[in-house]
Amino acid sequence: MANKEEAEKLKNEANKLFTEKHYAGAVNLYTKAIDLYPENAVYFANRSFAHIKLEEYGSAVADASRAIEVDPSYAKGYYRRGDAYFMLGKFKDAIKDLKTAAKVAPKDPDLRKKLAECEKAIKRIKFEEALSTPDSEITHVSDTIDLSTMPVEDSYKGPRMQEDGAGGYTITEEFVLAMLEEFKEQRLIHRRFAFQILLQARQLLRELPSLVDIDIPADRHFTVCGDVHGQYYDLLNIWQLNGNPGPDNPYLFNGDFVDRGSFSVEVILALLAWKVLHPSCMHLTRGNHESHSMNKIYGFDGEVKHKFSGLMLDVFREVFNWLPLAFVLNRKVLVLHGGLFSKDGVSLDDLRKVERNREPPDEGLMCECLWSDPAPEQGRQASKRGVGLQFGPDITQQFLKDNGLELVVRSHEVKEEGYEVAHNGLLVTVFSAPNYCDQMGNKGAFVKFNGSDMVPHFTTFEAVPHPDVKPMAYASSFLSWGM
């Protein structure tokens, strides 16, 4: 009885932390409650919900399954597992659980809405499969775009690229800087210029290998930034703090440029514009959110369609498919979005050979580049996310030794200080979206290397104000019901 009472007290404290959006702390207290009294399905379902908020969907599925084992009639167990499956893009599994929950709680209005959204997602997938074309017959949308059919009307008052005298336009630094200011005032550029940025960026990215080697001279520096996630005004702040990209100030942005934040279009066009203007001074790694499945759920699809068109969204997808998966700086530092691999002996040449022009698969090197996370425990474990894996300090040490490297830099995870050094100093996480989704309270950070020694130097920064457009404004409506 004493254990049961103490467990209930811990659950109530955890609920309070959850309400205050301290999700990691809530997980810890729910875990203590479960350790004292594991016969209560509510504790597992609540911890599952906290894992969902932390984007740890694999752990959320496991906890919801435990809740169902403890009490097969507990609707919230199926509800939470359905939520987690939906976030993983496993819509058939999600709808099965949500239907079971609906039988137990038939009057829940949020549940009915989620079921409808799930059914719509499945219909969309079936429709896309029916229209799919064999690879050998695919015509890329980007190859069909004719910029000459997009005249810039006299009524357009925004920034203009420089006319080239032959009916076309050339991107200039003056245009890019004016575009950044236009976006800051919540105005868009003409679609002609947006398409040109995309098409020129795609051509540049196609010419790169899946792993890119970068040499940094001894008297120069190089800045690596982590996730930005559509937080445009924080992106501008990075350049305010550290200078605009250019020949003397190169950058690498390490994936997850879009989704969640509601200025993702502005973020990705800004990054790609600098890439087109200074190809050797702006480098971009693919993140797990530069993918069709994530964009449908977390907002980029809806935002592009709202601000431009479905045609532009198709071109964005083709650009994302050509983003490199990893970079090596001065033959010492590996930079990739997620982490390391499920098997020993992976070489840099293996990464160079990955055929990346595709949507990310559910397993293999490309998937792990985008999704994996470090863990403090030795060896390898199943991922809390439900995709990729967790890898320990021994895995990092052996990989670096095998490949003659000194450090792994990755992103993919919110860190309270904007960065974290782990694995005995051999691995760095850098995250550049402060106060992530307007609720996490974290700092952002970037890391700078001097070519002479390649020692990481960190700069942290706070979030800056932005217009009153909430994160996830264009995301799947599924996320706003009972979440």
Query: Which residues have a Cβ under 8 Å from the Cβ of 110 and sit 6 or more positions away?
Result: 481, 482
Write out the two tokens for 167. 């009916």
Query: Which residues have a Cβ under 8 Å from the Cβ of 172 and sit 6 or more positions away?
Result: 161, 162, 277
pLDDT at 135: 54
Q: How far apart are CA 374 and CA 338, in angstroms?
A: 9
Q: How far apart are CA 160 and CA 277, in angstroms?
A: 14
Query: CATH 3.60.21.10 region(s) of the chain?
Result: 162-480
Q: How far apart are CA 367 and CA 365, in angstroms?
A: 5
For residue 390, give the H/E element and its range.
Answer: strand 389-391
Query: CATH 1.25.40.10 region(s) of the chain?
Result: 2-131
Q: Does domain 162-480 have CATH number 3.60.21.10?
A: yes
pLDDT by 10s per residue, the chain, length 483: 668 999 999 999 999 999 988 899 999 999 999 999 999 999 999 999 999 998 899 999 999 999 999 999 999 999 899 989 988 888 889 889 988 988 888 878 777 788 787 787 777 767 666 655 555 456 789 999 999 999 999 999 999 999 998 889 999 999 999 999 999 999 999 999 999 999 999 999 999 999 999 999 999 999 999 999 999 999 999 999 999 999 999 999 999 999 999 999 999 999 999 999 999 999 999 999 999 999 999 999 999 999 999 999 999 999 999 999 999 999 999 999 999 999 999 999 999 999 999 999 999 999 999 999 999 999 999 999 999 999 999 999 999 999 999 999 999 999 999 999 999 999 999 999 999 999 889 999 999 999 999 999 999 999 999 999 999 999 887 766 554
Write out the two tokens for 92. 């058939």
pLDDT at 107: 77
3-state secondary structure at position 102: helix
Q: Radius of gyration of the chain from Cα atoms?
A: 23
Write out the two tokens for 5. 């009472």
pLDDT at 118: 79
Bridging pattern class, strands 333-336 and 407-410: parallel
Torsion of CA 78, 82, 88, 89, to 10 degrees: 150
For residue 427, give the H/E element and its range.
Answer: strand 427-430
Write out the two tokens for 419. 């960065």
Torsion of CA 296, 302, 303, 309, to 10 degrees: 110
Angle CA(155)–CA(159)–CA(165) in degrees, nearest 5? 85
pLDDT at 483: 47
Placement of tokens 């045609």 in the chain: 311
Largest CA distance in the chain: 84
pLDDT at 376: 97
Just list the catalytic residues.
289
pTM to 2 decimal places: 0.91
pLDDT at 95: 87
For 73-126, what is each residue's pLDDT tens digit? 999 999 899 989 988 888 889 889 988 988 888 878 777 788 787 787 777 767
For 190-225, what is each residue's pLDDT tens digit? 999 999 999 999 999 999 999 999 999 999 999 999
Backbone angles phi, psi at 406, to 5 degrees: -120, -20
pLDDT at 130: 64
Question: Which fold does the domain 2-131 belong to in CATH?
Answer: 1.25.40
